[in-house]
Structures are given as structure tokens and as C-alpha cells.
């Protein structure tokens, strides 16, 4: 991975993290809204209950993704990013784009299977 590629990757990850952070905030607000009992009938309450479950599920997913991105950014800081932990060679950029949390190169992944 060249330093330009790395630079672009950091920007990409930081943007993604920003997006996730605002999405998490949004989802937290949505899943916390309590519907006033007196104002809604039973069906509406059930619907909003279902919505909240969906929000919570998306929230968990977004938080997991954020955790992965944060750990990848930490690895970039420590200089271990993009290097295979098994053979010490560069990890393919295309693989990192799809799975930035990859710690092994394609060859080592194949061997592990």
C-alpha cells in the first residue's frame, strides 16, 4: 500500500466514522422516543414497538461497524495497518477496501481455509 493509498483510506474511514456517529445518534433518539399511551390506539402502539426494535437492531449494527472502524484507525496509527500478520507482506488494497479490518493477505487467508 502506497502512502497515497493509505492517506485516501484514512479519509475514507474517517468519513465513514462520522456518518456512523451521526447515524447512531439518530437511531438512539428514535429508539428512545416514548409514545404517549393516551394518544395512540393499540395498533399504533404495536407499530411503534416494532419500529423501535428495528431501530435498536440497526443501532447495534452501526455500533459494531463503528467499533471495527475505530480499531482499524488505531492500527493505522500504530503502523501495523495493511501488513499481513502471518507473512508480513502487504495486504491487497482491494481486500482492505471491502474488509478494512483484514489482518491477513489473500494468500494466507486461502491457506487458512
Q: How far is the CB of 105 from Zn ion (least distance, A)?
A: 4
- Cβ proximity to Zn ion, 33 vs 87, nearer residue: 87
- Cα separation, 87 vs 104, in Å, equals 8
Which lies closer to Zn ion via its Cβ, residue 5 or residue 51? 5
Residues that bind Zn ion (CB under 5 A): 84, 86-87, 105, 108
Residue among 31 and 107 whose Cβ is closer to Zn ion: 107
> Residue 3: is it exposed, middle or buried by C-beta count within 10 angstroms (0-12/13-18/19+)?
exposed
Amino acid at each position: 500500500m502506497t502512502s497515497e493509498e493509505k492517506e485516501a483510506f484514512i479519509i475514507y474511514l474517517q468519513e465513514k466514522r462520522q456518518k456512523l456517529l451521526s447515524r447512531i445518534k439518530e437511531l438512539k433518539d428514535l429508539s428512545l422516543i416514548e409514545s404517549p399511551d393516551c394518544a395512540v390506539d393499540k395498533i399504533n402502539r404495536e407499530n411503534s414497538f416494532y419500529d423501535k426494535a428495528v431501530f435498536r437492531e440497526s443501532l447495534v449494527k452501526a455500533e459494531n461497524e463503528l467499533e471495527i472502524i475505530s480499531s482499524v484507525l488505531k492500527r493505522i496509527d500504530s503502523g501495523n495497518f495493511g501488513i499481513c500478520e502471518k507473512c508480513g507482506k502487504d495486504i491487497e488494497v482491494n481486500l482492505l477496501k471491502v474488509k478494512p479490518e483484514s489482518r491477513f493477505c489473500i494468500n494466507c487467508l486461502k491457506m487458512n481455509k
